[in-house]
Amino acid sequence: MGRGGLIARPLLWGRRTPARNPTPPKIRHAWGLLHAHTQWPNILPLVWSGSLERGCQPRRRPRHLTVVQNYEVRPNIALVLLENGTIQSEEYSSATHVGTHMDAPAHFARGGLTIDQIPVHRFIAAAAIIDITARAQLDRDAEATVEDLLHWESITGQTLDETVILLKTGWGKKWNNRTDFFGTPENDATKLHFPGLAPDAATWLVENRNIYGIGTEALSIDKGATRTYPVHQTLLGHGIYGLENVANVDKIPIYGAKLYVMPMKIGRASGAPTRIIATYPIILDPPASSNLV
């Protein structure tokens, strides 16, 4: 299950409890890719990749959202035969706001930072997982509130400052069902249903905390039923980036993980396909001998 120095065991958090008075537990770091379907079993996919999965690309902007399309990769030159093999090359094309991607502030803020202008230090940060899964199961248009943000700080003893918030909603499990993921079988942006962040929570964040970014398992950090995108306007308008269609948020702990967010560096772009990696500690059982009394 492992690769290199990674742990050859399932990536579980808090499932195994050492015996009383054990030798100090070993702490190792597990790497988790926040992108889709990698070949190494011990790497968590937290990014949906359009080359293997499907990206969400609008064909028309004003009223009709989006028939889901794949990224396109095609050969751009003939393969060249060498002495000991061949050279392979492709031509790649994609919209910037498809699959797992980043919304730069410029996406909603005139004069805002573009992808290539966001300070690099904001791409490495602690993850703050805000869990509204139970609420989202009952209401597809559920929103994470100020109370949810304060609750996270209360139970973890951490601050949201300099974090990247990830909304845990259960929507990642709907990825392969277009109707469930969009909340409608139709290609009509007025009929979308999925959870997001509450507008007053976005306002509270910019007035009271200093976060680097916010991500969601769903299509948008605003709930699907919105028409005005107030969360985008508030957060991106204050230089905070968004991450959308993030995979496997349910596989990392509510705190203790560090994110490495890696958008494709596209000059003057409002968005970009993005790779995200998370690391977090796993507490291993002590050696069997330490259980002997």
Residue 157 lies in a domain: yes
Structural domain of residue 152, as residue ranges?
100-263
Name 138's Cβ contacts closer than 8 Å, sequence gap at least 6: none
Position 110 in a domain: yes
250-267 per-position pLDDT tens digit? 999 999 999 999 999 999
Q: Tens digits of per-residue pLDDT, 175-216?
A: 999 999 999 999 999 999 999 999 999 999 999 999 999 999
In a domain? residue 205:
yes
- Residue 63: DSSP 8-state: S
pLDDT at 292 over 50: no
Closest CA relative to residue 259, chosen from 144, 134, 163, 152: 163
Segments of 218-270 assigned E as strands = 241-244, 258-263
Higher pLDDT, 89 or 117: 117
In a domain, 42, yes or no: no
The CATH number covering residue 231 comes to 3.50.30.50
Could you tell me if residue 72 is inside a domain?
no
179 domain residue, yes or no: yes
Least confident of 20-24, 107-111, 155-159, 183-187: 20-24
In a domain, 219, yes or no: yes
Q: Judge contact between 35 and 260, C-beta under 8 A.
A: no
Residue range 134-140: average pLDDT? 98
Domains: count for the chain? 1
Mean pLDDT of 150-163: 98
- 64 in a structural domain: no
pLDDT reported for residue 102: 98
Range of weakest confidence among 60-74, 169-183, 190-204, 279-293: 60-74
